[in-house]
A and B are shown apart, each in its own frame.
Chain A
Amino acid sequence: MQTEQTLSGKAVATQDVSVSSISLFFFRLKLWMKSPTPYLTLLGLSLFILTWWLTTEVWQLPRFEKLPGPVSVVKEWVSEDPAYGISIYTPEYYEHIWKSILRVLQAFGLATILGVPLGLFMGWKKTFKDYTFPVMEILRPIPMLAWVPLAILMFPEREMAIIYLTFLGSFFATTLNTLLGVESIDEAYFRAARCLGAKSRHIFFKVVVPGALPFIFTGLQISMGFSWFSLVAGEMLAGEFGLGYLIWNSFILVQYPVIVIAMVTLGVIGWSSSALIRFVGTLLMKWQSRGSSL
């Protein structure tokens, strides 16, 4: 009798949640719209743009007058016949974007493929860590951008040098965070797995990898930030295409609005790539959340 009672009770409860979750979402949205938050957000953004506009284009304050204002930037950006050759209608714009994304993808992919297994291994086998960690610790404090000249020297092609630089930025962040992740795993899990008769291979794939996953994704997010960071520097110094190069080149050619266009584009793409990793991370780590969030 009692089990029946509780079972039916549970069924009712779950139904309740699924029915209310959609209406709850809309209700929350309505509440949010009633709170001052969205309006303050809008006000804050408009204030920022207004200040930019007033200082550069309306009052033309000293020093500010040289900077491109929002109106000239937007005009250039959406113009079908842009004065400086870069707008949403010109293929060059997308070529620069594509080139930068491609470089980051290659470097980031390589860093992930090398860094994650390396970190996992370092955390798993103490002897391996003893031999590799000190070398990494010596190299790590050198900012990846200090590698620029050496990278250009080392690689016969500029393209490879830039990718190498971008790779370096990601690599250390990925490896060290993965290592931290493995070291954060509770020793009890290893013992439990061994007690249950798991072979090392099983322990590696069923305990080490999933246990380190949250840290790996934190590392990937940081490393994505670093790759864009070093990519820009690499492209500015040694590029022939790409958004960093576009910024530097427009500066030299005194095409100032294009600088801002490229900066904003960089910001948007950089932000989206981090968001993408966050999204994949939450998909892969469903077991981390309680699973009952509405």
Chain B
Amino acid sequence: MSAHEHISGNGGPLQGGEMQITAVSKSFGIGPLRQQVIENCSFTLERGKLTVLIGPSGCGKTTLINLLAGYEAPDSGTITVDGAPIKGPGKDRLVVFQETALFPWMTTLENVTYGPIVRGEKSKKEVEEEAMHLLRKVGLEDFRDKFPIQLSGGMQRRCELVRALINRPKIMMMDEPFRGLDAMTRELMQEYYVRLFEENHLTNLFITSELEEAIFLADRLVILTNRPASARTVIEIELPRPREFKLLATREYLHYKQQALEILHEEALKAFSSGCGATVADFLEAYSEVESK
């Protein structure tokens, strides 16, 4: 962890952590507004593995990520990283948000160097060198002085990945990061992301609602139940790495897909017949009005 180590993708010094989520519950609001979002949810993010969380839409995936990142505290249960319980947000667990959360008023380079510079770990020059090294790897070196609005959707996502990676997190959390990209860019980003993972083997958590994406990326697939969410099944995906898109036509892949589909369909039906969709959103809205800071 010394300051002079170089983040090079090929099996370098990036250290993945192990995250243990044990019996976590979370609800919002009180009285009739109370909505149990997560109940008794347990699973493990194994060191150096890519875990994908998938579940019916509106089932509380984003809430879960907020808990893991430390933006919100669970009502009960524990979350530990390498055995130590988490205390609030930290640079060991970084989130890549839905759509883009790059700071619009900073250039690509400023966005990437933001973390190390505010923590004051290294000199500005060192940080910028490191940032440029990473930006070069993702093909953004010519865009260092552009603002996010001037980048395409795919570039923004790559920039965001670099912004997280430069902080050498133990765990990367991706909250439906490729949502809103067009199909082509999305495919490219998936391939790009899986290459990156296969190079550095950080512990990764990837949230999505697309099954194909999930199986293509995952080492372990955690299927969530309908709200209140908990981990229903874990499927170990033992497809060979490096992953290629031609994998999508193999029998093993289709087998996993069938297996997951059945469970997902069951959960989706439950969600639909309990009238989940809109009402949940309403409850959350009502809650945020009452308790917004």
Encoded as 1 (CB less than 8 Å from any A CB) or 0, chain B from 219 to 261 comes to 0000000000000000000000000000000000000000000
Q: Do A23 and B273 have beta carbons less than 8 Å apart?
A: no
Q: Which B residues are CB-close (under 8 A) to A32? A: 290
Q: Roughly how many angstroms separate A292 CA and B278 CA in the complex, as a whole number? A: 7
Q: Which A residues are CB-close (under 8 A) to B32? A: 20, 23-24, 27
Q: Which A residues are CB-close (under 8 A) to B289? A: 28
Q: Roughly how many angstroms separate A35 CA and B289 CA in the complex, as a whole number? A: 12
**What is the minimal beta-carbon distance from B266 to any residue of chain A, in angstroms?**
13
Q: B interface, how many residues as a size bin?
A: 10 to 19
Q: Do A27 and B275 have beta carbons less than 8 Å apart?
A: no
Q: Which B residues are CB-close (under 8 A) to A292? A: 278, 281-282
Q: Do A293 and B282 have beta carbons less than 8 Å apart?
A: yes
Residue of B nearest to A294 (CB): B282
Residue of B nearest to A9 (CB): B273
Q: Do A10 and B275 have beta carbons less than 8 Å apart?
A: yes
| Residue A142, interface by CB 8 Å | no
| Residue A5, interface by CB 8 Å | yes
Q: Do A9 and B272 have beta carbons less than 8 Å apart?
A: yes
Q: Roughly how many angstroms separate A61 CA and B286 CA in the complex, as a whole number? A: 47
| Residue B188, interface by CB 8 Å | no
Encoded as 1 (CB less than 8 Å from any A CB) or 0, chain B from 270 to 283 comes to 00111100110110
Q: Do B275 and A16 have beta carbons less than 8 Å apart?
A: yes
Interface-centre pick from A8, A16, A27 (highest chain B CB count, 10 A): A27
| Residue A31, interface by CB 8 Å | yes
Q: Which A residues are CB-close (under 8 A) to B279? A: 13, 16-17
Q: Do B274 and A294 have beta carbons less than 8 Å apart?
A: no
Q: Which B residues are CB-close (under 8 A) to A127? A: none
Q: Do B31 and A27 have beta carbons less than 8 Å apart?
A: yes
**What is the minimal beta-carbon distance from B105 to any residue of chain A, in angstroms?**
25
Encoded as 1 (CB less than 8 Å from any B CB) or 0, chain A from 261 to 294 comes to 0000000000000000000000000000010111
Q: Do A27 and B272 have beta carbons less than 8 Å apart?
A: no
Q: From DSSP, what is the main secondary structure of chain B's interface residues? A: helix
Q: Roughly how many angstroms separate A9 CA and B18 CA in the complex, as a whole number? A: 41
Known contacts A9-B273, A10-B275, A13-B275; decide if A27 and B33 are in contact (CB<8 Å).
yes
**What is the minimal beta-carbon distance from A215 to any residue of chain B, in angstroms?**
24
Residue of B nearest to A12 (CB): B275
Q: Which B residues are CB-close (under 8 A) to A24? A: 32-33, 286
Q: Roughly how many angstroms separate A293 CA and B286 CA in the complex, as a whole number? A: 9
Encoded as 1 (CB less than 8 Å from any B CB) or 0, chain A from 1 to 24 comes to 000011011101110110010011
**What is the minimal beta-carbon distance from B291 to any residue of chain A, in angstroms?**
9
Q: Which A residues are CB-close (under 8 A) to B275? A: 9-10, 12-14, 16
- The 8 Å CB contact of B33, one of A12, A28, A293, is A28
Q: Do A31 and B290 have beta carbons less than 8 Å apart?
A: yes
Q: Roughly how many angstroms separate A194 CA and B281 CA in the complex, as a whole number? A: 36
Known contacts A13-B279, A17-B279; decide if A28 and B274 are in contact (CB<8 Å).
no
Q: Roughly how many angstroms separate A9 CA and B278 CA in the complex, as a whole number? A: 13
Q: Do A5 and B290 have beta carbons less than 8 Å apart?
A: no
Q: Which A residues are CB-close (under 8 A) to B282? A: 17, 292-294
Q: Roughly how many angstroms separate A10 CA and B273 CA in the complex, as a whole number? A: 7
**What is the minimal beta-carbon distance from A26 to any residue of chain B, in angstroms?**
9
Instruction: A9-B272, A10-B275 are known; give 5 further A-B pairs, CB within 8 A.
Output: A9-B275, A17-B282, A24-B286, A27-B33, A28-B289
Q: List 17 A-B contacts (CB under 8 A).
A: A5-B273, A6-B272, A9-B272, A9-B274, A9-B275, A10-B275, A12-B275, A13-B274, A13-B279, A16-B279, A17-B279, A24-B33, A27-B32, A31-B31, A290-B278, A292-B282, A294-B282
7 tightest A-B contacts by CB?
A13-B275, A9-B273, A292-B278, A27-B32, A27-B31, A31-B290, A294-B282
